[in-house]
């Protein structure tokens, strides 16, 4: 998710997100995510990081008034949390990643292209949230495919949620792949049993 929305050299905006929350709001959110990544790289673990209006204005050109207006909308949509703490008091932010992902779930593209200094830069859509056993189990029951949710989770945990050499993008698609493999295996097994039974019956007649 963070790789999709931010970069150290430029701001990447998702059009779908901008349409939902507003262009300035999307710019501010992307800038905050970039700042969050900086603090994570420097040891931040609780999700809270600080930023100043002056710094945000320098990075985004949004005035303090525009920032406050955007933050009200981001808070209303539960995309960020804000609080003041410390002496002297500083404004701290926390990105609600799950809520951001909900807004992004309508994405149909797996790659975005941005132009910077006459060079084409491909930004890969890397956001992926590992499913819970309950989610996989419910999806398998809905499809009535007899896929073992625990075995599915354990298998991909051991693989680092990789599909071949690529990071998994859609766990439901992976479940459907398992479903098809199970069907083929059952068909093959059924044919084998039929052949064995036919051979045994033929043997009796000899």
Cα 33 from Cα 4, distance rounded (Å): 10
Question: Which residue did the predictor score with more confidence, 102 or 177?
Answer: 177
pLDDT digits (tens, 9 = 90+) for 25-57: 999 998 898 888 888 888 877 889 989 999 999
Most confident of 11-20, 62-71, 94-103, 104-113: 62-71
> What would the mean pLDDT of 4-28 be, rounded to a whole number?
76
Is the Cβ–Cβ distance between 26 and 16 less than 8 Å?
A: no
First-to-last CA distance in the chain? 68
pLDDT > 70 fraction of the chain, expressed in percent and rounded: 74
> Could you tell me the domains of the chain?
2-124 (1.10.10.10), 133-205 (no CATH)
The pLDDT confidence band at residue 159, using thresholds 50, 70 and 90, is: confident
Q: What is the pTM of this model?
A: 0.48
One DSSP character per residue, 41-82 reads HTT--SS-EE--HHHHHHHH---HHHHHHHHHHHHHTTSEEE
For residue 132 the two structure tokens come to 């819970």
Over the stretch 130-153, which tens digit does the pLDDT of each residue have?
A: 899 999 999 999 989 989 999 999
CB 147, CB 175: distance < 8 Å: yes
């Amino acid at each position: 998710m963070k790789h999709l929305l931010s970069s150290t050299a430029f701001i990447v905006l998702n059009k779908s997100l901008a349409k939902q929350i507003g262009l300035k709001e999307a710019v501010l959110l992307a800038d905050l995510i970039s700042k969050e990544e900086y603090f994570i790289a420097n040891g931040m673990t609780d999700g809270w990081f600080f930023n100043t209006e002056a710094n945000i204005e320098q990075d985004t050109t949004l005035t303090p008034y525009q920032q406050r207006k955007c933050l009200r909308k981001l808070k209303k949509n539960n995309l960020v949390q804000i609080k003041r703490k410390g002496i002297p008091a500083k404004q701290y932010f926390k990105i609600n990643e799950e809520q951001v992902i909900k807004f992004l779930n309508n994405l149909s593209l797996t790659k975005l292209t941005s132009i910077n200094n006459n060079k084409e830069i491909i930004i890969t859509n890397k956001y992926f949230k590992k499913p819970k056993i309950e989610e996989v189990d419910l999806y398998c029951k809905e499809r009535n495919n007899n896929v073992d949710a625990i075995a599915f989770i354990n298998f991909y945990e051991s693989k680092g949620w990789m599909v071949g050499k690529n990071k998994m993008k859609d766990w439901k698609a992976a479940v459907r792949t398992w479903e098809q493999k199970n069907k083929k295996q059952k068909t093959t097994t059924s044919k084998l049993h039929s052949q064995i039974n036919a051979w045994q019956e033929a043997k009796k007649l000899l």
